[in-house]
Copies of this chain bind each other. A is one copy, B any other.
Amino acid sequence: MGALHEGHLSLVRQAAAENSDVFVSIYVNPTQFGINEDLDSYPKTWDADMEMLADVDNKLASTAGSGRISAVFAPTTKTMYPTLPPSSEIPGKGSFVLITPLGNVLEGASRPVFFRGVATVCMKLFNIVKPDRVYFGQKDVQQTVVIRRMVEDFHLDTEVKIGATRREPDGLALSSRNVYLGSRRRRVSTVLSQALKAAELQFVNGKRSRGDILWPANDVALSKALQQDELPAAMRARFEVDYISLADPDTLEEVDEVDETKGAILSGAIKMQPLEELQEGEDCGLGGDSMPVRLIDNIILKPSA
């Protein structure tokens, strides 16, 4: 969807290391945005994206044995939705791929058209480009599970590869939406990765039950929320936890106990609230920190070998 960052670029590099020709698709897909979501305000940064890709491609050119970026595929909406205008409604008119119930839980619970739109547009992209391999970032973990399922159920002749989540030094997962975070919200936003890290530590230390794994994550989130509540409005950045989940890696159903042979997906979503009161000269994000920003993150709890 453009607004490229190092996470996207790392996928391009991974693809170039494993393939001769890399196609980069840049398309802000309207059907995955709900009617009240941020399609219009989604950052569109075409020139900066092209510069970043040209820079990556130049470095690939001097890397022995590496593939290159062969094309940037940036279709029009008339190409992607040739017969009916793209609908964000439910049920909505059009041709759609539905992956249920995978697409209805977690992110899909609060964004009911999201995975319908993602699966639909990816099916089209795959059919147009016919890639040997497709690369998705681990950060959107539910998307990776939905795409894997679509590839299996529809016998799509491609291999799904997942690139690790890229993070800021303090742990915040890279996201195109991070540009909306001014420094105050940015500081508090690390609560999500810290909460997931606390839960992961429990798993690493041998804990397997839901309660044992998740309590420290909920504790980190609650402590940070209370800390913000106690600060004056001009200093705090409030947030709400949408969910902290411990789910089966194939079905995304919540689990009470992690199955050693399957592992689990630890994931979470928070909504950073708009700042209530700005300080004089404060370093604000794009949009002046006046809009809520939803952030997601996850950690894979790996099965034992």
By a beta-carbon cutoff of 8 Å, the part of chain A in contact with chain B is: 81-83, 91-101, 123-124, 127-128, 130, 149-150, 152-157
Contact = CB atoms under 8 A, between A and B. Distances in A.
A247 to B, nearest CB: 16
B154 A127 contact: yes
State the number of copies, please. 2
Given A95-B154, A128-B155, A130-B157, 9 more contacts: A82-B152, A83-B152, A94-B153, A95-B97, A95-B99, A95-B149, A96-B98, A127-B155, A127-B156
Contacts of A154: 95, 123-124, 127
A239 to B, nearest CB: 33
A155 B83 contact: no
Contacts of A81: 153
Q: Is the interface of A mostly helix, strand, loop or mixed?
A: mixed
Contacts of A98: 95-98
Contacts of A95: 97-100, 149-150, 153-154
23 contacts: A82-B152, A83-B149, A83-B152, A83-B153, A93-B100, A93-B101, A94-B100, A95-B99, A95-B100, A95-B150, A95-B153, A95-B154, A96-B97, A96-B100, A97-B97, A97-B98, A98-B98, A123-B154, A124-B153, A124-B154, A124-B155, A127-B156, A128-B155
